[in-house]
Amino acid sequence: MRLVLAEDSALLRVGLTQLLESRGFEILHAVDNAAALDEALADPAAEAAVLDVRMPPTFTDEGLRAAITAREARPGFPVMVLSQYVEALYARELFASGTGAVGYLLKDRVSDVAEFAEGVRRVASGGTVLDPEVVAAVMARRHEEPLERLTPREREVLAQMAEGRSNAAIAQRMVVTEKAVAKHINAIFTKLDLPVDEDDHRRVRAVLAWLRV
């Protein structure tokens, strides 16, 4: 899979390139500023992007903006956004930029190489990956609709779905059978009034509803 990588710190850029290449990704463009990123994202050969939020020239949130713009130009273009810190506000903006194919993670998560690579793959194939820290922040708002309608167990399952885990992984984490997880997920879909369609899209929609976007 051919990726665009944007990261202004040379150390991290080299590290990420090595890491992703070791996991079978091809780095098409590795850039270090917003202007070069815009150019790289316009390359039709790019299949997905891994972006840092804070980059030159203003060192604020140009990576995030570039991601949102890229997804406007190419709806559904998979983007994994990395940052030194995460904000539920940014997660909402990012997830509002089209259904699915979005990831938002703390940079530290890269240290779990296998899980990070799996996350990028998941995003590239249309799924969502949300950092556990954002998930925890959203979880704290349990008084709100539509979360209120869910049982604590269902909320836990939804949180894990938001982090991008598969049914098998959720089952393993919660020490229950996969069938039990599937049952919870169905209950979540029903309670959130999500129309029946292909399973993966419903998963994404459930996460979006939960983020209230």
Nearest to 70 by CA among 12, 13, 3: 3
Q: Which stretch binds another protein (CB under 8 A): 1-9, 31-39, 40-48, 88-96?
A: 88-96
Does 142 participate in binding another protein (rule CB under 8 A)? yes
Does 196 participate in binding another protein (rule CB under 8 A)? no
Does 144 participate in binding another protein (rule CB under 8 A)? yes
Cis peptide before 78 (omega within 30 of 0): no
Cα–Cα distance measured from residue 179 to residue 197, given in angstroms and rounded to the nearest whole number: 20
The one-letter code for the residue type at 16 is L
Nearest to 79 by CA among 60, 55, 99, 56: 99
Does 19 participate in binding another protein (rule CB under 8 A)? no
E strands, the chain, where? 2-6, 26-31, 48-52, 79-83, 102-106, 128-130
Tell me how many residues contact another protein (CB under 8 A). 25
User: Site residues for another protein, window 94-113 (CB under 8 A)?
Assistant: 96, 106-108, 111-112
Shortest reach from residue 181's CB to another protein, in Å: 27
Does 148 participate in binding another protein (rule CB under 8 A)? no
Query: Which residues of this chain interact with another protein, rule CB under 8 A?
Result: 54, 60-61, 65, 84-85, 87-90, 92-93, 96, 106-108, 111-112, 137, 140-144, 213
